[in-house]
């Protein structure tokens, strides 16, 4: 009962946040002029942006392959591409990053990977994403100049992710210490639950295996950078199509802040949060309101729609049990 109430509260808070940010965006957006600009966007630009989304998904799957291999699970890149696409598509529909649960289930079905091992690799992904996005925001703010909230955000996020990396490295290299912490945290639970909690804590630390050695961590970090550079290129391609001459700093700032807004777990597809926060960043780099509105709406559509379509097309290989008949389940 408490779990249901907690989930309902999260959903209510997420919905309220989405509505509030969307209202703030619509108060300042100029939808009429924006629609006229969107209609003139070249199809070649849209095609290039969709291709870069596909590159982003493939490189993300490659990074996940490195993280899983470091945890002792070798999987084909094709299977991971399907799982990544389905998970990201679900995150665009389900609030609270529900797509991560589908990725965990996909790895259980396709690769027999324990759930908490997969959860550990997903946590490692979030941490690596935070490192790159923090660097993008900080570098963008410094290149654009003017300081203010973007610079403070970059500094705070950089400090937070640096601390997170340090703690994860310590946990990954000293699993016995992590196990002791888990044991103390579950001391009041019944014995059988304590044993399960200890086992799952060990599995989670196994999922952080890339942080134990330099080479796997370097490969995963390099893939993270490549993945976000593809995303940065998409922001720049669309910006050039709208006649924006922002320079590297402007696009680093827009891409970093936009994806930081998408990472808010309470909302599906970053509805409201992406639009308003990215709009503020666009105004910070002195894009006029009409073009800023067109640019933000275009980027939101490109970030969300193509990967959602990819996920729908790849649902069968990612979650094969959904498509098995009763006879196949019994085998």
State whether the Cα torsion 13-15-19-25 is positive or negative: positive
The pLDDT assigned to 95 comes to: 73
The pLDDT assigned to 187 comes to: 66
Residue 182 pLDDT level (bands cut at 50, 70, 90)? low
For the CA atoms of 229, 71, 89, 100, the dihedral, rounded to the nearest 10 degrees, stands at -120
CB atoms inside a 10 Å sphere around CB 250: 23
The pLDDT assigned to 2 comes to: 55
The pLDDT assigned to 268 comes to: 72
Q: Which tokens belong to 258?
A: 């936009």
The pLDDT assigned to 135 comes to: 96
Q: Record the pTM.
A: 0.90
pLDDT(240) > 90: yes
pLDDT(49) > 90: yes
Residue 181 contacts by C-beta under 8 Å, 6 or more apart in sequence? none
The pLDDT assigned to 3 comes to: 52
The pLDDT assigned to 11 comes to: 64
Q: How many whole angstroms separate alpha carbon 263 and alpha carbon 120? A: 17
pLDDT(122) > 70: yes
Q: What value does the mean pLDDT of the chain take?
A: 88
- Ranked by mean pLDDT, which of 129-133, 146-150, 177-181, 286-290 comes out on top? 129-133
Give the pLDDT confidence of 61-115 residue by residue, as tens digits: 999 999 999 999 999 999 999 999 999 999 888 876 788 999 999 999 999 999 9
Average pLDDT value for residue range 237-262: 93
Closest CA relative to residue 301, chosen from 258, 264, 260: 258
pLDDT(209) > 80: yes
pLDDT(151) > 70: yes
Of residues 3 and 54, which shows the higher confidence score?
A: 54
The pLDDT assigned to 82 comes to: 96
The pLDDT assigned to 270 comes to: 80
Give the pLDDT confidence of 259-300 residue by residue, as tens digits: 988 876 666 778 888 999 999 999 999 899 999 999 999 999
Of residues 186 and 15, which shows the higher confidence score?
A: 15
288: burial class by Cβ within 10 Å (0-12, 13-18, 19+)?
Answer: exposed
pLDDT(230) > 80: yes
Residue 18 pLDDT level (bands cut at 50, 70, 90)? confident
């Amino acid at each position: 009962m408490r779990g249901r109430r907690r989930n309902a509260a999260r959903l209510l808070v997420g919905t309220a946040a989405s509505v509030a940010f969307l209202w703030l965006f619509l108060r300042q957006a100029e939808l009429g002029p924006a629609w006229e600009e969107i209609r003139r966007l070249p199809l070649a630009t849209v095609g290039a942006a969709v291709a870069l989304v596909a590159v982003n998904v493939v490189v993300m799957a490659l990074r996940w392959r490195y993280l899983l291999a470091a945890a002792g699970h070798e999987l084909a890149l094709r299977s991971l591409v399907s799982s990544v696409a389905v998970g990201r598509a679900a995150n665009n529909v389900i609030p609270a990053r529900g797509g991560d649960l589908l990725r965990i289930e996909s790895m259980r079905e396709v690769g027999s990977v324990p759930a908490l091992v997969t959860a550990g690799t997903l946590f490692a992904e979030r941490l690596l994403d935070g490192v790159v996005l923090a660097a993008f925001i900080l570098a963008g703010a410094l290149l654009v100049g003017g300081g203010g909230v973007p610079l403070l955000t970059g500094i705070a996020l950089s400090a937070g992710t640096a601390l997170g990396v340090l703690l994860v490295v310590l946990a990954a290299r000293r699993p016995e210490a992590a196990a002791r912490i888990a044991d103390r945290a579950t001391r009041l639970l019944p014995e059988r639950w304590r044993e399960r909690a200890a086992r799952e804590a060990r599995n989670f630390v196994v999922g952080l295996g890339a942080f134990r050695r330099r080479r796997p961590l370097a490969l995963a970090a390099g893939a993270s950078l490549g993945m976000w550079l593809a995303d940065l290129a998409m922001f720049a391609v669309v910006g050039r199509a709208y006649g924006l001459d922002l320079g590297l700093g402007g696009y680093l700032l827009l891409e970093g802040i936009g994806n930081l807004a998408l990472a808010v777990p309470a909302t599906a597809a970053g509805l409201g949060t992406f639009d308003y926060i990215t709009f503020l960043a666009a105004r910070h780099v002195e894009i006029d309101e009409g073009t800023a509105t067109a640019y933000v709406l275009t980027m939101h559509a490109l970030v969300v729609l193509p990967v959602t379509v990819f996920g729908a097309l790849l649902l069968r290989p990612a979650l094969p049990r959904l498509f098995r008949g009763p006879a196949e389940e019994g085998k």
